[in-house]
Amino acid sequence: MMRRTGVFYLAMVAALIGIIFRVFWLSIGENAVRAEAVMANRESEIILYRTKGLIYDENLNPLAGNQPCWYLLVDPRNFQSDNLDLLIEMTESNREQVQNKLKKETPFVLKTKTDPKALPGVQVFEGVDRYCGLASHLLGYLDSAGEVGLSGVEKEYNEFLNLFSSSVCVSYNSDALHGAISGLGVEAVEAETSENGLVLTLNKEICEVLDQSMENYIEKGAAIVMDCKTGAIKAVSSMPDFDADAVSSYLDSGEGELINRAFSSQTVGSVFKIILAACALENGMEDFLYTCNGGIVINDRTFACHNHDGHGEIGLQEAFAQSCNAYFIALGQLLGYDSIAEMAERFGYGSSITILDSMKTSTGNFPVKSSNLALANLSIGQGELMASPMQIAMMTAIIANGGILPDVHLYNGIYLNGKLKANTENTEEKRVISAEHAEMLRQFCVYTVEEGTGKSAKPSSGSAGGKTSSAQTGVIVNGVEKLNVYFTGFYPAENPEYVITVFAEGGESGGKTCGPVFREVCDFLAS
């Protein structure tokens, strides 16, 4: 009897030891990893997007900070690989980057500006994006975290805009591997957002029209619309444009997408004849006549006129409208370098324009006094002369504004707690040329559009004034020199309100390449 009891006892001990070893085995096996992960479940957060203070146009239309979009929270554990192509297409994402994220356990966020389709393993949240795609080179962009302004208005007012920053997150129950635990739900955690922000002088509708017209006609270039009386910048477009959400993709590009061509130094060409004409009027040479036979010889070098047959005997207004090189070279030789340089300095050549405290245009380059040949080049805006399109716009505004230097600016005020606190700072009025001479130059510009090289820029409604330009660059492509071309002018012709300056790299001529953009903007402003 006792022997049987001992055997039974030993059997029970052996069974218990087996169970202990089984539990131990499970504790170090694959199931133990899962069990430990479940036991370690916790709440995790992932940022959908960050917000900062808004950037508004003059009519309080948001330009940055309040653009509708959708955020897709992708759960790699439940996403079906058959839908990868659709996910890439909806979000315009990099395939390789998305594939690498799907290999991990952690949920991640993608963004789309179009209403997305529902997909297994993907949750959709409505939210806002920062940029609307307008005035990109003025507004600038943020760092990859969406917190620090790296260029443009974003950089200039980073500290102020950060006063109203917040984050919108989603929370989910996660395990030790940071993966979402199926069936325990995902919840949006919305932080309080603010409508406070910065107000600019830009006009969203004008920006849209200008960008569209530039895309239609110009691959590389810039355009500016400005209130000629106040100097308020209404729109700036620089082509090619860039996507502020993908700045890194342009760093190795040779196309210069991140360059604001409106503020950069460019060759000038015949728009500089405005300075020669102003100088002639001030020196009492408005009646100067010259016979153009298709060119002019200076120090044994022939400078050709674009009209190789010549313009015949021609006066200042006609020479301006027809952009006669021979006439203006002869005029420049009579005026002399010092007189031309002094007038150019009064119009701002050789100086930068401060748009905001640290946002300035390039200074350009005004050539030093040298030979008669250099003076001939200067008289028609060629040679070493360089200026930014914004400088050309300001020069044009002086004519349209009766000879007064405009206070070029972009800042309009701040929007706080539902109220606009407008900028009331006034600058001292500075006269550049007399009202009489400004009026004569205005008439020259109107005549250029009506009867001269600017006919292609004539608006459908009313008239305008302006000047064409084709500037040599010294760059030869397929045996032909590349030209930088302009049309700069004002609208309407009587009592001008706006200055519109259009610049193109590698254009055919100022009238043919830039004139249509000028005309379309004028037609919109008239509507």
Q: Are residues 190 and 248 in the same domain?
A: no
Q: Is 28 contained in some domain?
A: no
Residues 153 and 234 in one domain: no
Dihedral angle, C-alpha 433, 437, 438, 439, nearest 10 °? 160
Asked if the structure places residue 3 within a domain, the reply is no
Does 244 reside within a domain?
Answer: yes
Dihedral over Cα of 219, 222, 227, 228: its sign: negative
Residues 190 and 220 in one domain: no
| Domain CATH code at residue 136 | 3.90.1310.10
- The Cα 502–Cα 509 span in angstroms is 12
Residues 6+ apart with CB under 8 A from 120: 78, 79, 80, 83
How many domains does the chain divide into?
2
Residues 415 and 325 in one domain: yes
Residue 19 included in any domain: no
17 part of a folded domain: no
Q: Report the sign of the C-alpha dihedral through residues 263, 269, 274, 279, in that order.
A: positive
Tell me the torsion sign for CA atoms 408, 414, 420, 423. Answer: negative
Residue 14 lies in a domain: no
| 393 inside domain | yes
Which of 160, 195, 230 lies at the terminal end of a domain, its last residue? 195
Q: What is the C-alpha to C-alpha distance for residues 178 and 194, in angstroms, rounded to an integer?
A: 31
Same domain, residue pair 248 and 170: no
SS3 label, residue 284: coil
pLDDT tens across the length of the chain (527 residues): 445 555 555 555 555 555 555 554 445 454 544 444 444 456 778 888 889 999 999 999 999 988 889 999 998 888 998 999 999 999 988 899 999 999 987 889 999 988 898 899 898 988 889 999 999 999 999 998 889 999 999 999 999 999 999 888 888 776 655 566 554 456 666 666 789 999 999 999 999 999 999 999 999 999 999 999 999 999 999 999 999 988 988 988 889 999 999 999 999 999 999 999 999 999 999 999 999 999 999 998 999 998 889 999 999 999 999 999 999 999 999 999 999 999 999 999 999 999 998 899 999 999 999 999 999 999 999 999 999 999 999 999 999 999 999 999 999 999 999 999 988 877 788 999 999 999 999 999 999 999 999 999 999 988 999 999 999 888 888 878 889 999 999 999 999 999 999 999 998 899 999 999 999 999 999 98
* Domain-ending residue, one of 157, 173, 195: 195
Within a 10 A sphere around the Cβ of 449, how many other Cβ atoms? 30
In a shared domain, residues 255 and 135: no
Clarify whether residues 460 and 314 are in a common domain.
yes
Full residue range of the structural domain in which residue 181 is found: 42-195
- For residue 144, with 0-12 CB atoms within 10 Å meaning exposed, 13-18 middle and 19 or more buried, which class applies? exposed
CB atoms closer than 10 angstroms to residue 253: 11
pLDDT of residue 40: 47
Neighbours of 73 (CB within 10 A): 20
pLDDT of residue 478: 80
pLDDT at 183: 46
Domain closes at, from 195, 222, 242: 195
In three state form, how does the secondary structure of 55-77 look? EECCCCCEEEEEEEEEEEEECCC
Domain-located, residue 302: yes
Query: CATH number of the domain that 511 lies in?
Result: 3.40.710.10
Pairing of β 386-387 and β 186-190: unpaired
